[in-house]
Homo-oligomer: A and B are copies of this chain.
Amino acid sequence: MVDFKFFVLKGCLRSYFIDLSGNEHTVQFAIEDWWIGDYPAYFTGNKSSLNIECLEDCTLLKVKKENWEQLYKEIPKLESYARIQLERGLASTHQKNIKNHTMSTREKYEDFIASYPKIEQRIKNYHIASYLGITPESLSRIRKNIPVT
């Protein structure tokens, strides 16, 4: 059971799963001031479905679900904060799926560096590739062809 999520004080992490062919699919990256967790399991009580990996030395706040629920009772305005965070998370998850099927490989990469400019320099090529659903070789070719601005 997954009854916690993490707030990143320092470092960089990713969540990922492994498909039927043994390939890794990165679901989310997180750096300072971001949250990360196994959300499908955290929100439903179902068994764990994602792995969380530290890509750098990390300092994290581990927040238990029961404490978070208690905070909702004590600070009702936190509901509004959580609701807006969840709206963004849901929109972002849908958008990633849509982009995955409607953008070219190059467009996916350009969209990634535009959306996450602070993250790209801290993450290895093959982890970015596993987030974009492309091969590391494809990503290397694209990176070589994009001029440094």
Q: Which residues from chain A sit less than 8 Å from chain B, CB to CB?
A: 17-20, 25, 27, 39-40, 42-44, 46, 49-50, 72, 76, 79-80, 82-83, 86-91, 93-95, 97-98, 101-104
Copies per complex of this chain: 2
Contact residues in B for A98 (Cβ distance below 8 Å): 17, 25, 27, 40, 49-50
CA of A103 to CA of B17 in the docked complex: distance in angstroms? Answer: 12
> Which residue of chain B is the closest to A84 with respect to CB atoms?
B43
Closest 7 CB pairs of A and B: A86-B86, A79-B79, A19-B101, A43-B91, A43-B87, A40-B94, A83-B83
Q: Which of A44, A88, A91, A103 has the most CB of B within 10 A?
A: A91
User: In the complex the two chains form, what is the Cα distance from A95 to B50 in whole Å?
Assistant: 10
A44 → chain B closest CB, angstroms: 5
Q: Does the CB pair A43–B90 fall under 8 Å?
A: yes
Q: For residue A46, which residues in chain B have a CB less than 8 angstroms away from its CB?
A: 95
Quick one: closest B residue to A41, CB to CB?
B91
Assess the B97–A27 pair: CB atoms within 8 A: yes
Q: How far is the CB of A66 from chain B (nearest CB, A)?
A: 15
Contacts of A82 in B (CB 8 A): 83
Give every chain B residue within 8 A of A44 (Cβ-Cβ).
Answer: 88, 91, 95
